[in-house]
Every structure is written in C-alpha cells, then in structure tokens.
Structure 1
Amino acid sequence: MSSDPWGRVDETGTVYVRTSEGEKVVGSWQAGSPEEALAYFERKYEGLVVEIGLLEKRVKTTDLSAKDAMAAIDHIRGQIDEHHAVGDLEALGRRLDALVTSVEARREERRARKAKQADEARHAKEALVAEAEELAQSEQWRAAGERLRSLVDTWKGLPRLDRKSDDELWHRFSHARSAFSKRRKAHFAALDAQREVARQAKERLVAEAESLSGSTDWGPTAARYRELMAQWKAAGRAQREHEEDLWNRFRGAQDIFFAARGGVFAERDAEQSENLKLKEELAVEAEKLVPVTDLKAARAAFRSVNERWEAIGHVPRDARPKVEGRMHAVERALQDAEETEWRRTNPEARARAEGLTGQLQAAVDTLRSQIDAARAAGNNAKADKLSRELEGRQALLDQALKGLEEFGG
C-alpha cells in the first residue's frame, strides 16, 4: 500500500483521494505500483489545475461571454465532482467558486453597460426623431433633404432598442421623412406648373420680339421693347432647359432692332452735329445785329439769317435749347426795338400820353391847393389825407412824364 498527503492506494489497487468529507474512491489501478497509480491521478489533477488557470485567464482578458464561461466552469466542476484526480480538489472548487463570482460581476457590468448604451441609443434616436419632425416642416428643400439623409445614416449606426420602442420611434422618424418628401414633391410640382406658365408667356413675348426686330418705327418700337422686357421679368423663370434658349432668342431679336436703330441714329447724330455747327455760326451772325441801330436793315438781315436757319434741319436735342435761345434773344431785341420805334412815331399814342399827363398834372395842382387851404383852416387831418392821395397821383404823373419822353419830348 502506498500513500501521500492527498491520496492512497490500498492492497486491492483501489485509489482514494482525501477530502474534508473523507476519502473518495478515485479509481482502480492494477497495471503497476501504487506510486505509479498516484502519479497518474496526480497528473490528472495537474491537468485540472492548468485547465482552470486557462479559464481564469480567458475570463479576465477576453470577451468570453458569461454563458460560455459558466458552461466551462460546470464542465470542470463535473470532473472535480467525479473524483478522478488526486490533489486538493476542494481548492480547485474554491477557485471555480471565485471564478463564478467574477463571471457574475462581469455579467452585471455588461448588463449595466448594455442598459446604459440602450438608454443612450434611445435618447439619440428620440433626438433624431425630434429633428426629423422639425425638418419635415422646412422649406429649405435641398439642405433639409440632405440633412434627413444624414439622419438615416446616423440611425443605422445606432444599436436597436427593444422591438416595441424601436418600432415606435422608427415609425415617427419614417413618417417625418415621408411628410417632408410629400411637401417637397408638391412644392416642385407647383413650381413646375408655374414654370410651364412662364414658358408659355415667354414664348409669346419672344414671338412678338422677333416680329418687331425689323421695325423702323424707332420710338414706338423701342417703347414696346421696354414693355416686353418688363413683362419678361414679371413672368418668372421657365424650366431650366427652356429659359436660356428663350432668353437668347428674346435678347437676339432686341439686339437686331437696336443695332439697326443705333446705325441710323449714329448717322443722324453725325448730321445733326454738322447742323449744330452751322446754326452756331448763324447765331453768331445774328448776335452782331444787337444792339439795333438801323431797325430796317437789322430786320432784313435777321430774316435772311432765319431763312438759312430753317433750311438747315435738326440739331442734337441736348444742344437745341442753348442755340435756339441765342436766336430768340436776338429776335426779342428786334421786337423791343420795333415797339420803341412804334411808340415814338405813333401820333395817337403820343396824344393819349400827353392828355393823360395833362390830366394828372391838373389833379396834382388841385390837390396841392386843397392841402394849402386845409392847413390854413387848421384842418390837419384833412390835409394829411390829401397829402397821401397826392403822393399816389404824383407817382402816376412821374411815370406818365417818363413815357412821354420816349416820344421825343
């Protein structure tokens, strides 16, 4: 019989292991000595020690799931319970108990971490839903559409919640996207309808513009083109594929008309500039007649200048007031000279002037006599009143005398 601290072999070859509950049969050994039997079952024990050590390391350093870890622990514990090894089996059991505690702690940590992640995912998805529902009311079609697509990618990257919660949030999220898409489609459908109306209106404007491009009725046609341009701007934009072509036709028709008008106006401007030079020369010739010394000769000379003036034609509009004003000034000077000469040589006018002067002089003399009489009588109030009347009559008399001088005395 052979023995050691943890086991023994009896005379029949039965191998025992010592535990706190007493000896347990490990097995039977008939092939050799008791020492060989104990060594064999001690190696089995060492195998269990190595297996437990490896499991402890896996639990500590890898992401081994709690389920798999517990299955491995149960498997080893089953081997220990079968007592097919010689050694401190209870020590191995205590190591497995400690390992179970560690696995449970890790399970709780994972459960807490998973709950936290789920809570974070819920808040994240609720925030995505809230933003999507706000974007559903936006009219920033491009930016909002791009943002909604980005939110979908973000949603896909988040972990799933419990089925009920996840489905409810996804339903709200999807509904917001659908509402936005529906509003955007309606908006662009209405926009397309407006652009079609604009296209038809611009087609009509182009047709009229092209029909006017050959007109030589410069003023009215230019005015009509301005009206067509205002209508073009008010019509709004047509579809992109039509807008540029319509504008090129519309603008091209105007360019044809205005190029033709510009050529005519350039030729006319050159002619009018030459006319202006000629009229300025005539204005200088007319201005030499002032001051008028010989009315008859001046009148004949001005008539000659005016006939040549009328034969010349138009001058540039902006220069017209100045050059015509010079001729009008000479004409007014001749008219003033004629009126002066007429008054000087008109017997009836002279007689009327002399008669008026005589009447005013008599009235002045009468008033002076009445003033003297009132003063002598001590009636100063009457004298003052007559004096004020005298001032007015005297002023009229002075004016009449000045007019009479124009008749030569």
Structure 2
Amino acid sequence: MSSDPWGRVDETGTVYVRTADGEKVVGSWQAGSPEEALAYFERKYEGMVVEIGLLERRVKTTDLSAKDATAAIDHLRQQVDEHHAVGDLDALRQRLDQLVETVEARREERKAAKAKQSDEARKSKETLVAEAEELAVSEQWRAAGERLRALVDTWKNLPRLDRKTDDELWHRFSHARSAFSKRRKAHFASLDAQREEARKAKEKLVAEAEALSASTDWGPTAARYRDLMADWKAAGRAQREAEDDLWNRFRGAQDVFFQARGEVFAERDTEQRENLTRKEELAIEAEKLLPVTDLKAARAAFRSINERWEAIGHVPRDVRPKIEGRMHTVERAIQDSEENEWRRSNPEARARAAGLTGQLQAAVDKLQGQVDKARAAGNNAKADKLARELEGRQALLEQALKGLQEFGG
C-alpha cells in the first residue's frame, strides 16, 4: 500500500483521492507499482492546474467571451468532479468558483461598457442627425456637401444601436441628405439656366463692342463702352469656357478702341500742356494788376489779357479749375472795385444812406431820453426794456455809419 497527502493506493490497486467529503475512487492501477499509480494521477492533477491557470490568464488578459469562458470552466469542472486525478481537488473547485465570479464580473463590466458605448453612439448619431438637418437648408453648397459626406463616414464608423432606434435616426439622417441634394440639384439647374441666359446676353454685348472698336467718335463711344461694361457685370457669369472666350473678345474690342483713342489723346495732351504754359503766363500778367489802383487802366489791361486767353484753347482737364480760378480771382477784384466806385459816385445811394443814418440817430436820441426819464421816475423795468431796444438801434446806427463812410462822408 502506498499514499501521499492527497491520495493512496490500496492492496487491490484501487487509487483514492482525499477530498473535503471524504475519499473518492480515482481508478484502478494494475500495470505497475503503487508509487507509479500515484505519480500518474498526480500528473493528471498538475495538467488540470495548468489548464485552469491558462484559463484564468485568458479571462483576465484577453477578450475571451463570457460564453466561451463559461464553457471552458464547465469542461474543467467536469474533469475535477470526475476525480480522475490526485491532488487538492477542492482547491481547484474554489479556483473555478472564483473564475466564475470573475467571468460574471467581466460580463457585467462588458454589459455596462456596451450600454455606455451604445448610449454614446446614440448621442453621437443624434448629433450627426441634428447637424445634417441644419445643413439640409444651407446654401453653402460645396462646404455643406463636403461636410455631409464626412458625416456619412463618421456614421459608418459608429456602432449600430438597437434596430428601431438606429433605423429611426438613419431615416432622419438620410432624409436630410436627400433634401440637401434635391435643393442643390435644383439650384445648379437654375444656375445653368441663368448662365445660358448670361451667355446669350454677353454675346450681344460682344457683338456691339466689336462693332464700336473702329469708332472715332471718342466721347460717346467711350461712354457707351462704360455702359456695356455695366451691362456685362449685371448679366452675371456664363459657363466658364464661354465666359473666358466672350470676355477675351469683349476686352479685345475695347482695347482696340481705347488704344486708338489714347494715341489721339496723347497728341492732344501735348497741345494742351503747351496751352497751359501760355495761360499760366497770362495768369501771372493778370495777377500783377492787383491790387487795383487805376480802375480804368486795370479794366483795359484785363480785357486784353482775356482776349489772348480765349484764343489759346483748352488745357488739361485736371488743372483747368485751378488755372481758371486764378483769372476769376483777378476778374472779381476788378468787378468789386467797379462796384465800390459806383457806390461812391452814386448821389441817390449816398442820400438814402445819409437819410437812414439821420433817422436812426433820431430814434437813438429819442430812446435815450425815454430811458433817462423812466430811470428818473424810478420805473426800472420800463427803463431796462427801453435800454434793450436802444442797444438794437445803436447797433443798426453803427452799421449805417460804416455804410455812409464808404460813400466818402
């Protein structure tokens, strides 16, 4: 008979294993010594220890499903329960029980993680749907279209939800995309029609521009080209190929006209610059007449200068106001001198000024007497009122006196 702490072999070759419930028959051994029998069944026990250890590591470190882990635990538990090994089988059962708890805990964790993932996926898809519905009414066709395509890619990478929720969200998402595509298609169809109308309108503008390119009626033709350009901008864009070709023709016709006009104007500019030099000399000659001391001589001299001025012709437009302004300044000064002379030599105007001055002086004297009388009577309110009226009449009198002085007396 042979034995160890976990088993023994009796005289008949029967092998037993010790458990918490007592000895259990492991099997019968007739082929060798009892020690060999125990060693054989101890190796079977070690094999189960290794298998359980491997399963523990797989459960803790891999994505082994709970279903597969449970099947593996049941298979090992069956081996332990059949008692075909010698060793601490109760310890193995405890490890398997703990492993069951671990698997259940992992199952709950995965269930919670899956629920969390599903909730996050639902929120993500709801966010995608909301954005897609906003984009459905956008008129930023390119940007919105690219964004919707990016949303589809994002959607495909999200986990599926329960069928009902996923289908409802997808229906809204798909409907938003379809609505945008329908609006974009209608927009570009309308745009194509508009571009065709623009092409027809611009062909007419090009035909007129080309017909005008040889005109020498510079002013009206240049004005018409400006109108044609305004009409061109108002017509909108044609299809790109047609737009480029029409524009090159339109611009080319203008270039022919404006180049010809530019050559003519260059000759005219040379002449006008020479005219400007001559008029500047006359302006200097006229300015020497100021200040006017001899009105008759100044008038005669200015008349001569002005006749020569009118005979010269045009100067460049950008300097015309300045050079003409200098002559106008001299002309106004002579006119002012003539007016002052007329006023000084007009006896009727002087008499009227003198009469007005006399009337105002009499009114001032009368009011002054009334003020003094009211003050003497102690009626200050009346005196103040009359004094204010007196101030106004005195101001008018001062102006009248200045006017009378201009008549020389």
How far 1:17 moved relative to its partner?
A: 2.2
Contact 1:279/1:323 (8 A) holds in 2: no
Taking a change above 3 Å as real, the CA distance of residues 27 and 261 of structure 1, as seen in their structure-2 partners, is: same
Contact 2:279/2:312 (8 A) holds in 1: no
Q: Which moved more, 1:105-114 or 1:270-279?
A: 270-279
How far 1:63 moved relative to its partner?
A: 2.4
SS in 1 for 2:8: strand
Taking a change above 3 Å as real, the CA distance of residues 263 and 36 of structure 1, as seen in their structure-2 partners, is: closer
SS in 1 for 2:215: coil
Matches for 1:286-305 after TM superposition, within 5 Å: none
Give the structure 2 partner of residue 14 of structure 1: 14
Q: TM-score, normalised by structure 1?
A: 0.69
1:176-205, Cα deviation, whole Å (9 max, x unpaired):
112111111211221221122112111111
Is 1:315 the counterpart of 2:314 in the alignment? yes
SS in 1 for 2:179: helix
Separation (CA, whole Å) in 1 of partners of 2:125 and 2:28: 66
Contact 1:26/1:85 (8 A) holds in 2: yes
Give the structure 1 partner of residue 260 of structure 2: 260
Which residue identity is paired with 2:314? V
How many equivalent pairs are there?
A: 328
Taking a change above 3 Å as real, the CA distance of residues 232 and 7 of structure 1, as seen in their structure-2 partners, is: same
Give the structure 2 partner of residue 162 of structure 1: 162
Contact 2:225/2:254 (8 A) holds in 1: yes
Separation (CA, whole Å) in 1 of partners of 2:277 and 2:19: 140
Give the structure 2 partner of residue 146 of structure 1: 146
Give the structure 2 partner of residue 67 of structure 1: 67
Is 1:185 the counterpart of 2:147 in the alignment? no
Which residue identity is paired with 2:258? F
1:354-400, Cα deviation, whole Å (9 max, x unpaired):
xxxxxxxxxxxxxxxxxxxxxxxxxxxxxxxxxxxxxxxxxxxxxxx
1:305-332, Cα deviation, whole Å (9 max, x unpaired):
97x999x674337389679989x99xx9
Separation (CA, whole Å) in 2 of partners of 1:277 and 1:52: 115
SS in 2 for 1:159: coil
SS in 2 for 1:84: coil
Contact 1:14/1:25 (8 A) holds in 2: yes
Give the structure 2 partner of residue 53 of structure 1: 53
Contact 1:13/1:30 (8 A) holds in 2: yes
Is 1:196 the counterpart of 2:196 in the alignment? yes
Separation (CA, whole Å) in 2 of partners of 1:88 and 1:66: 26
SS in 2 for 1:27: strand
Separation (CA, whole Å) in 2 of partners of 1:51 and 1:133: 56
SS in 1 for 2:31: coil
Contact 1:41/1:84 (8 A) holds in 2: yes
Separation (CA, whole Å) in 1 of partners of 2:78 and 2:209: 101
Taking a change above 3 Å as real, the CA distance of residues 266 and 8 of structure 1, as seen in their structure-2 partners, is: closer
Separation (CA, whole Å) in 1 of partners of 2:32 and 2:279: 151
Matches for 1:279-290 after TM superposition, within 5 Å: none
Contact 1:69/1:103 (8 A) holds in 2: yes
1:207-242, Cα deviation, whole Å (9 max, x unpaired):
101100101122221221122122112112222222
Separation (CA, whole Å) in 1 of partners of 2:45 and 2:266: 119
Matches for 1:225-240 after TM superposition, within 5 Å: 225-240=225-240
Separation (CA, whole Å) in 2 of partners of 1:3 and 1:323: 140
Separation (CA, whole Å) in 2 of partners of 1:39 and 1:274: 131
Give the structure 2 partner of residue 213 of structure 1: 213
1:26-80, Cα deviation, whole Å (9 max, x unpaired):
1111112222212221221222222222222222222222122112111111111
Separation (CA, whole Å) in 1 of partners of 2:253 and 2:76: 98
SS in 1 for 2:181: helix
Taking a change above 3 Å as real, the CA distance of residues 178 and 323 of structure 1, as seen in their structure-2 partners, is: same
Contact 1:8/1:17 (8 A) holds in 2: yes
Q: TM-score, normalised by structure 2?
A: 0.69
Q: Which moved more, 1:12-21 or 1:103-112?
A: 12-21
Taking a change above 3 Å as real, the CA distance of residues 11 and 278 of structure 1, as seen in their structure-2 partners, is: closer
Q: CA RMSD, aligned part only?
A: 3.8
Separation (CA, whole Å) in 2 of partners of 1:48 and 1:323: 121
Taking a change above 3 Å as real, the CA distance of residues 278 and 122 of structure 1, as seen in their structure-2 partners, is: closer
Contact 2:45/2:85 (8 A) holds in 1: yes
Taking a change above 3 Å as real, the CA distance of residues 208 and 8 of structure 1, as seen in their structure-2 partners, is: same
Matches for 1:20-39 after TM superposition, within 5 Å: 20-39=20-39
Give the structure 2 partner of residue 224 of structure 1: 224
SS in 1 for 2:78: helix
How far 1:14 moved relative to its partner?
A: 1.9
Which residue identity is paired with 1:315? H
SS in 2 for 1:199: helix
Separation (CA, whole Å) in 2 of partners of 1:46 and 1:67: 25
Which residue identity is paired with 1:262? G
Taking a change above 3 Å as real, the CA distance of residues 14 and 313 of structure 1, as seen in their structure-2 partners, is: same
Give the structure 2 partner of residue 393 of structure 1: none
Taking a change above 3 Å as real, the CA distance of residues 18 and 241 of structure 1, as seen in their structure-2 partners, is: same
Matches for 1:113-152 after TM superposition, within 5 Å: 113-152=113-152
Q: Which moved more, 1:50-59 or 1:176-185?
A: 50-59
Contact 1:280/1:323 (8 A) holds in 2: no
Contact 2:205/2:228 (8 A) holds in 1: yes
Contact 1:215/1:221 (8 A) holds in 2: yes
Give the structure 2 partner of residue 374 of structure 1: none
Matches for 1:270-281 after TM superposition, within 5 Å: 270-271=270-271
Which residue identity is paired with 2:161? L
Separation (CA, whole Å) in 2 of partners of 1:235 and 1:222: 20
Question: Which has the greater radius of gyration?
Answer: 1
Which residue identity is paired with 1:80? V
Give the structure 1 partner of residue 404 of structure 2: none
Which residue identity is paired with 1:125? K
Percent of aligned pairs sharing the same letter: 78
Taking a change above 3 Å as real, the CA distance of residues 117 and 272 of structure 1, as seen in their structure-2 partners, is: closer
